[in-house]
Structure 1
Amino acid sequence: MSDCKLQPLLISLFVLLSFLSGHAQSKTPALQALEAGRYEEALKLYQSQLQDNPRDIQALAGKSKALLALDRFPEALPPAEKALTLAPDNPDMLAQRAAVLTRLERPQEALADLNKAIELLPNTSYLHVARGYVYAELGQFHESIDDHSLAISLNKDAILSYAGRAYARAQLGEIDEAFEDVEYALKRDPNLVPAIHTYADLLFRRVRFQEALPQYTRGIELKPEDAYLWSGRGGVYSALDEVNKALADYNKAIELAPNRPPLYSARGNLLARMGRLTEATADHNKAVELGQNSPTTLVSRGQFFLDWTELYSLALEDFDKAVALAPDMADAFLGRGEAYLALDKPRVAILDFNKAIELAPSIMFAYTARGEAYEAIGEPAKAEADYRYVLEITPTYSPALLGLGYLQLSRDEFAEARKNFDSALEHASDPEQVWAARKAVGRLLVRLNIKDYSEFPVDLVYDIHDDEELMKDDLRADDLLDLDLKELPEIPIDNKLARRIDTQRVLVIQ
């Protein structure tokens, strides 16, 4: 499924952006309390203002912002909507309602509000920043990058856009560019917590866990009340196999924000990894309960069933519910397609992948998942077309590089496969992709039977064919974590073999 690890960061950033719309207001005591993070105090002051003047749109917007910051999302919507009733063409009020709708998991409606606000004020930087984050939450990363780039062109000080663009670029495998963006943001403001969070996550994605750890710790020192920083550090500890520290961080995150479903989902996945499946299931159930059966929490639990329990039928039930509740949610169809694929129903899976692509054409993973389904029904040409389509748009997208590489490996196109596997590793955007790329190279070496090419230097610390772990049939990605790809040789293909492969390729084309 498309990567959603940074969804909490996206949401928290979007809440931060909702405060920017009030930058031109006079500094009332209520606004001062709001900007200082004294949300309960701000709420009381705004309520007092509204008793005096129920039609004060700035007080209505302020009340909505305070409630939003207090995680009282359903209560934050009525004042935002009343403000819009009084001022239907006010871009600030549209932006505020969009912020609330995002927290209520109604991103399409949030996008509609921001589109209207931008029509009214097309050259307002913060509106493009906000829409960039909504696009990212919808998985429309190219559009997200465009909006953040426009925001930066309108206001060079739009530092949040550098962090947002870094996230979108990372999703598309543009890792170097993502690092450039977030490092620039940190150069401008070393204490910008959202940028520190983004930077830490990028390091995590590149399996640089030891470097990610102090970044999360620094973020926690600057903003110890941020539950998602604790959760992020928990993820790093988990990757470092320090599961007790990871669990402590997840527990702290939940202590700070006991009503936020993603935190329970994250802890549930850790507990599953620890073999505590009963507790893990309870955490995912708690997330669904807190989310009031929201589509996002159902999708998260469905993915948990897929990844950790192999209870594919239960996963399918959750995805079915999510689709019924949110028929315009691409991730729900994408997850259901994965469930059908796991249940050996690739033809039905293709229908869901088609729908996901129809709803969100820029979600690259939907094409690669459909490519896998096409392979399962014996249509490699269609699979290859999907992989190549993605790579035309985003040449660095690791799942598509892996999919195409495995197709080439099945046709004995060893050099082409190796090129794609190496590129997949170079541009992997999270640890799972890194491990998958390493596994692919391992499979390639086994297929090549490296021992047959003794005239070529094979500088491995061990003999591949004597390694029981590497040679076993049920090889897992985790088994190759210590394999240093820089030590692997160039693929040796002699002229006779190359001519034979070319002949086979011509025959296939004919």
Structure 2
Amino acid sequence: MRISSLMLLVLSVSLGSCTLEEGNHEQMVNLAEVKDDPAAQLQNLNIALENSRRDGSLYARRAVVLLQNGELEQALQDAEEAVRLTRKEPSTLFVKAQVLRAMGKPEEALPLALAAERNSYQSSSLYVLLGELYLQRKEYKQAMEYIRKAQELSPADEYAFYYKGRVQEATGDTTNAVRNFKLSLEQAPEFMQPQRELAAILVDKGEHEAAKPYLLKALRKAPEDAKLWYNRGLAYQAEQKQDSAMRAFGKAVSINDTLSGAHYRLGLHRLAQGNNDEALEHLEKVYGVYKSDTDYLVKLATAYERVGFFTKALATYQRLVQLDPKATYAYRSISRLKYKIARPIPDSAAVRLQEQIER
């Protein structure tokens, strides 16, 4: 699996400060000649390392190429060897931090990135990384401070604009977030992530026509991005293209089964179609997210009752009246369900009810 383009900001790291082994200069590969060909670069680095096993800079450079290829475990091994051989030279700490970030280990990446900064390593990419890591921790003030540092060193850095927009979006400043996402795209028109964020903001604002170009372009670049398919579904719904919307939501949950908004909308659609079992499958998956939403509880209870899960329907309505004591329709449903549960039922139905109670 290849890593996303956003991960490749690591390629801007400067490893020039890593000291080469004396006497091995003639064995060094001219990496500039192959920098746009990762396979050739990897091959040449492998050859160079056979002749210079104690050159930490070579391990760091190979870690970057492996990271670009999405070979994260091997990249981590090389990054660790680079750190060991260079005695924790800050640029190699940065490379290892990037690899750990790509592996989904931000808590391990952050101390290394901070150590690189403390050891006087100045790089817009390092500051962008620190900004992103603090964004993940929801420490927005600290994140913005590092993004500003990145922009001081590199005013036209598309990643700095992008993450500045992400911080602003997270703190509710969508106007400035949109501006920074657009600035990011001015520097790098093919950068997918700002397109995705712009599409999401514009869809949320109901500006579906404005969102469409960003959605379509981003989907061409990232056809397996669940968030994009979810927003495409919302745009289709706004156009009253319900079948297309459901296909988009279905695609979204096939990629990311935890996408609650898509499951909810699929559940509502299936319930309206009378496909109660499938509706329930989707609605149950999002209970943790929507359990305090009274409209959701009504739909969930309806699905339970339609498939004969009366005790679950009753419990769902009882939760609803706890949240909204004025929901008179729910009291009527509670009375109806209590009657259904208490009345004598045929043996076959009793078996089904017993199975429901045991679930």
Aligned residue in 2 for 1:174: 173
Tell me, yes or no, if the aligned pair for 2:10 and 2:64 is still in contact at 8 Å. yes
**1:186-243 residue CA offsets vs partner (Å, 9 max, x unmatched):** 334433334333323332443434432320322344xx3x356x43320212323412
| 1:244 matches 2:226 | no
Tell me, yes or no, if the aligned pair for 1:196 and 1:219 is still in contact at 8 Å. yes
User: 229, 237, 247: which is aligned to 1:234?
Assistant: 229
Aligned residue in 1 for 2:108: 109
Q: 1:268 and 1:178, CA in 2 relative to 1: closer, same or farther beyond 3 A? A: closer
**1:231-277 residue CA offsets vs partner (Å, 9 max, x unmatched):** 332021232341213434776xxxxxxxxxxx433568635642447
**1:28-57 residue CA offsets vs partner (Å, 9 max, x unmatched):** 566665x53x54554444333322222232
Per-residue deviation, 1:125: 2.3
Q: Which structure 2 residues correspond to residues 29-428 of structure 1 after superposition, within 5 A?
A: 35-36=35-36, 38-121=37-120, 123-221=122-220, 224=221, 226-227=222-223, 230-240=225-235, 241=237, 242-248=245-251, 263-265=255-257, 270-271=262-263, 273-275=265-267, 276=278, 304=286, 306-307=288-289
Q: Which deviates further from its counterpart, 210-219 or 75-84?
A: 210-219
Tell me, yes or no, if the aligned pair for 2:64 and 2:95 is still in contact at 8 Å. yes
Per-residue deviation, 1:73: 2.4
Local SS of the residue matching 1:19: helix
Q: 1:245 and 1:166, CA in 2 relative to 1: closer, same or farther beyond 3 A? A: same
User: In 1, Cα distance between the equivalents of 2:289 and 2:197?
Assistant: 25
Identity %: 17
Aligned residue in 1 for 2:297: none
Tell me, yes or no, if the aligned pair for 2:169 and 2:177 is still in contact at 8 Å. yes
Aligned residue in 1 for 2:338: none
User: In 2, Cα distance between the equivalents of 1:84 and 1:211?
Assistant: 47
Tell me, yes or no, if the aligned pair for 2:157 and 2:184 is still in contact at 8 Å. no
Aligned residue in 2 for 1:16: 8
Q: Which structure 2 residues correspond to residues 463-502 of structure 1 after superposition, within 5 A?
A: none
Tell me, yes or no, if the aligned pair for 2:106 and 2:133 is still in contact at 8 Å. yes
**Gap regions ≥5 residues in structure 1:** 1-10, 252-262, 282-301, 311-341, 343-375, 377-442, 448-470, 475-510
User: In 2, Cα distance between the equivalents of 1:29 and 1:265?
Assistant: 45
Code of the aligned partner of 1:234 = W
Code of the aligned partner of 1:141 = Y
Per-residue deviation, 1:168: 0.7
Per-residue deviation, 1:174: 1.2
Q: 1:41 and 1:231, CA in 2 relative to 1: closer, same or farther beyond 3 A? A: farther
Aligned residue in 2 for 1:352: none
Local SS of the residue matching 1:112: helix
**Gap regions ≥5 residues in structure 2:** 18-24, 238-244, 268-277, 293-315, 317-322, 331-359
User: In 2, Cα distance between the equivalents of 1:32 and 1:197?
Assistant: 34
Higher-Rg member (1/2): 2
User: In 2, Cα distance between the equivalents of 1:202 and 1:40?
Assistant: 38
Tell me, yes or no, if the aligned pair for 1:216 and 1:232 is still in contact at 8 Å. no
Code of the aligned partner of 2:226 = S
Per-residue deviation, 1:72: 3.0
Local SS of the residue matching 2:70: coil
Tell me, yes or no, if the aligned pair for 1:77 and 1:97 is still in contact at 8 Å. yes
Aligned residue in 2 for 1:466: none
User: In 1, Cα distance between the equivalents of 2:156 and 2:177?
Assistant: 18
Tell me, yes or no, if the aligned pair for 1:162 and 1:184 is still in contact at 8 Å. yes
Code of the aligned partner of 1:202 = I
Local SS of the residue matching 1:265: coil
User: In 1, Cα distance between the equivalents of 2:33 and 2:285?
Assistant: 42
Tell me, yes or no, if the aligned pair for 2:15 and 2:61 is still in contact at 8 Å. no
Q: 1:220 and 1:52, CA in 2 relative to 1: closer, same or farther beyond 3 A? A: farther
Aligned residue in 1 for 2:300: none
Code of the aligned partner of 2:131 = G
User: In 1, Cα distance between the equivalents of 2:122 and 2:14?
Assistant: 17
Code of the aligned partner of 2:65 = A
Aligned residue in 1 for 2:313: none
TM-score if structure 2 supplies the norm length? 0.62
Per-residue deviation, 1:124: 2.9
Tell me, yes or no, if the aligned pair for 2:199 and 2:231 is still in contact at 8 Å. no
Code of the aligned partner of 2:123 = T
Per-residue deviation, 1:13: 6.4
TM-score if structure 1 supplies the norm length? 0.46
Give me the CA root mean square deviation.
4.0
